[in-house]
Amino acid sequence: MNILVVVVDALRVDRVGSYGGRSVTPTIDELAADGTIFENAYSTTNATDPALTSLQTGQYPRTHGVLNHGSHVSEMEKKRVEDTSTLPSVLNKRGFATGAFGRPLGRWHRRGFDRYPELTSAHWRLKSLEKAVSDILYSVHPSIGDVISGVYNSLTDRTGSDDENEIVEAFDSFLEDADRFYSLVHLMDTHTPYDVDENLVERYLERFEYENTPLTEIAERFPTGSITYNSLQPGGVVNQNNDQWRGHEVGIGTALARAQYDAAATEADRKIDSLLSVLRDRGMLEETLVLIVADHGESLGEHDIYFEHHGLYEATVRVPLIVRPPFDAVDRVSELVNITDIAPTVLDVLDDSKGSPTEFDADGRSLLPLLEGSDSDDTWDSREAILLEEANTQRFRGIRTQNWKYLRAVGDPACRYCERPHGAAEQLYDLTTDPNETENLVEDRSEQAAKLRAQLEELLSRYTHSENDPNASDNRRVEYDDEEEVLDRLESLGYR
């Protein structure tokens, strides 16, 4: 059996048709019809470094050690994660060909892969160059940036087809000598900056209704010079290469950005279709376990968070998870599940986890009983709650139960990017009556808040490194040859 895991970065649940969302992902929907939809799947956090590490280790960030993202990851975090087993490493030792494709995060994410994307690929070099030149031009004067980017856009292909071809061709080449494989494909389409087919954007502007406010007007809600303010200005990561829309009836506003996001979801879906076609043409699809998931979601304006993933709200931590195993499985699962469950599931389906509990010590659990539809309490105990934690733009911890969400700030609740809070230091939401988390009930439902506060403390104590962590006195320095390039690339995506 083979394994294909496709991570669509920042893909929201409500943009996947099989979840009742917009019909912009036909391939994912078709795969879902032939597999299992996990209706209540959650990430561990809202940033890629810790989330993807949770997926590959089966552990919460507090356990595997990486809470921060990009340049904010500390030496101690690197030491801890280097001592943690990863799924590709385990499978590689057992004879699987292991390949990663798409977004290269490098550093510890590279561990265990026979094949990994080159950081110096032409596509990524071009993206970094585009961002650097755009920053310079728009810093001189926005009108200069508009003129130059207009000429550039008219001379270049903005469909993302080169990126798709590069990923699919590399994946196809990888399969030539692979008897059994584990492959991770990380697609960046739905992460800003949106590099999408303008014709598709136009089609969605006509097809869907979008609330529309100029991006520059939204920017004025934030302190001048803040990261969010800059990202919404011409040349910013949300507002790049948009000059050709200036004369359009919708202008350059939230309607355009949301239509671009929807178009990006479709383009990611097309890449998935191409990947599945490669497997189908090679006669390997029916013997491959396929998982489609997001590392986190994306806020498109909720809680005054625009085209970013700040906060532990549903828009950013609830993720699509669709599993199509090479055997009959149930259609839908409503249980609370987590991306930490993916690695244990893979090992269980392969029947490779038995007898080696110390080799892969996961916080998550195998979803195989749920896929098979087992009703036995001996095979799956329903989760009472999922632990949530963020440390990139603000510091919050939280707990999500079947009906409630409780969030608590660690120190100052202000967002580093927006330079203001997105909510109170303590928040409580009844998700059955308030799924959009608009009414904070922490004072009105104090008993419920106290109950969840205690549950949160219990989870924090359960999933944490030991106080006697041997790394605490370890003076070695973890160095990665690719770290500087990775951090430069993250900066081009808007991370500071």
What single string gives the DSSP state of each residue in 225-238? TSHHHHHHSTTSSS
pLDDT of the residue at 131: 52
Euclidean distance between CA atoms 311 and 154, whole angstroms: 37
Distance CA 241, CA 342 (A): 37
Look-up of token digits 């000059």: 243
Residue 114 near residue 92, CB atoms below 8 Å:
yes
Dihedral sign of CA atoms 468, 470, 471, 472 in order: positive
DSSP at 479? -
Asked whether 92 and 112 are in contact (CB, 8 A), the reply is: yes
Where does 87-197 have alpha helices with state H?
87-93, 122-140, 142-155, 161-175
**Cβ count near 325 (within 10 Å):** 20
Query: How far is it, in rounded angstroms, from Cα 248 to Cα 123?
Result: 29
Q: Count of residues for the chain?
A: 496
CA distance 250 to 256: 7
The parts of the chain modelled with pLDDT lower than 50 are 123-124, 138, 141-143, 145-147, 149-162, 353-357, 376, 467-468
Give residue 334's pLDDT: 95
Tokens of residue 141, six digits: 């004067």
Tell me phi and psi for residue 323, to 5 degrees: -120, 125
CA angle 11, 373, 402 (to 5 degrees): 55
Contact 6, 102 (CB under 8 A): no
**Listed residue (159, 185, 163, 164) closest to 174, CA to CA:** 185
Decide: 391 and 450 in contact? Cβ < 8 Å: no
pLDDT (0 to 100) of residue 207: 96
Residue identified by tokens 């290269």 is 104
What mean pLDDT is reported for the chain? 88
Q: How many CB atoms lie within 10 A of CB 220?
A: 11
CA–CA dist 234, 135 (Å, integer): 10
- Please tell me whether residue 347 adopts helix, strand or coil conformation: helix
pLDDT reported for residue 479: 75
Find residue 408's DSSP bridge partners. Answer: 397, 426
pLDDT at 157: 45
64 three-class SS? helix
Please state whether beta strands 318-324 and 288-293 pair in parallel, antiparallel, or not at all (unpaired): antiparallel
Instruction: Spell out the domain ranges in the chain.
Output: 2-492
| CATH of segment(s) 2-492 | 3.40.720.10
Can you count the helices (H) and strands (E) in the chain? 17, 15
Q: Which residue has tokens 């302190």?
A: 223
Q: Single out the residue of 368, 306, 319, 363 nearest to residue 340, CA to CA.
A: 363
Residue-level pLDDT at 126: 54
* Whole-prediction pTM: 0.89
Strands 97-102 and 181-187: parallel
